[in-house]
Amino acid sequence: MSQGAGQSATLEELRAEIIRLGPWHLDVEVAPGLTTRAFLDAPPGTYQGTGHLDPSRITFIDPRRDVESLLPRIYPAGLEGRSFLDCACNCGGYSFLAREMGASACFGFDVREHWIAQARFLAEHRTGPSDNVELEVLDLYDLPQRGVGPFDVTLFKGIFYHLPDPVTGLKAAADLTGELLIVDTSTRPDMPEGTLTVGRESREGLMSGVYGLNWRPSGPSVMAHILQWMGFPDTRLAYHHEQTGRGFGRMRVVAARRHGLLDAFDPVDRGGGRARPRRLRRWRVARAERNRRSGATGDG
């Protein structure tokens, strides 16, 4: 697509460009009736023979559902001018949504040009607001030297388990975060609680890290320890799905620098006080039972 086509591009031109830039990981609306999902209609063979571009290796998800199930619980009135940091932003889908939810400015970065090329296309052509949304190629480990921030809210989704040193990586983001940090990661629920488990991964896969080494936490208590050490004393488990069908689990932990922000996660007990979130309690019981049966030891 010629540069500067901007708003004047026809739907057919936009559709062709979506296919050219594919495969996509995030479903983002480009124009009424047209989303990045259009790449799924690419003629058979479009992405074949390109190895790591094989779309069957890339999950395709709707970020709107994800964000709308979480952020309004914490910020019922929207982001109200808060700044937003999107680590490993992929095509920037979460940043564009944050902007729509009232963020004043968003900064997203991803190590792969493939995804940032998509982000540039979206910034230029989507009908939703893209002003003050900056998306660029950057390695997480270079974030401290980049000279951006601080930010009110940070999304650290799908990146913890693609890093050779995830604590240093997460700290780079945490140090720039003033209010809320959301960590969404793959887990190893089969391992004793309190552990990080090492693994190997492709350096080339579009959804992968670039270092070949990775670590997965066993569950929420590992993340709570790490986040508390980073200056986020208040953490809640949004969910931990222990059966994802691939041998890994998936969890989302939200962390706040100050108490009170996450009260919406705490069911009020009959006595008027706060009860421990039910999911976390159920999860701990199930984990303790499994560890007991397997003879594993953990920190609870």
Work out whether 185 is an interface residue with ligand SAM (CB under 6 A): no
Work out whether 27 is an interface residue with ligand SAM (CB under 6 A): no
Q: x/- string (CB under 6 A) for ligand SAM, residues 220-259?
A: ----------------------------------------
**CB of residue 181 to ligand SAM, shortest distance in Å:** 14
Q: How many CB atoms lie within 10 A of CB 231?
A: 13
Restricting to residues 276-295, name those near ligand SAM by CB under 6 A: none
Structure-token pair, residue 158: 């799908």
Which of residues 90, 177, 214, 221 is near ligand SAM by CB under 6 A? Answer: 90
Work out whether 107 is an interface residue with ligand SAM (CB under 6 A): no
Restricting to residues 155-184, name those near ligand SAM by CB under 6 A: 157-159, 162
d(CA 19, CA 13): 10
What three-state secondary structure class fits 197? strand
What three-state secondary structure class fits 53? helix
Is residue 137 within 8 A of residue 116, CB to CB? The reply is: yes
Q: How many CB atoms lie within 10 A of CB 252?
A: 20
> How many residues are there in the chain?
300
Work out whether 189 is an interface residue with ligand SAM (CB under 6 A): no
Restricting to residues 113-142, name those near ligand SAM by CB under 6 A: 115, 139-140
User: Number of residues in contact with ligand SAM, rule: CB under 6 A?
Assistant: 17
Is residue 209 within 8 A of residue 183, CB to CB? The reply is: no
User: Bridge partners of 216?
Assistant: 197
d(CA 24, CA 12): 18
Which of residues 70, 210, 213, 296 is near ligand SAM by CB under 6 A? Answer: 210
> Could you list the residues that contact ligand SAM (CB under 6 A)?
25-26, 88, 90, 110-112, 115, 139-140, 157-159, 162, 207, 209-210
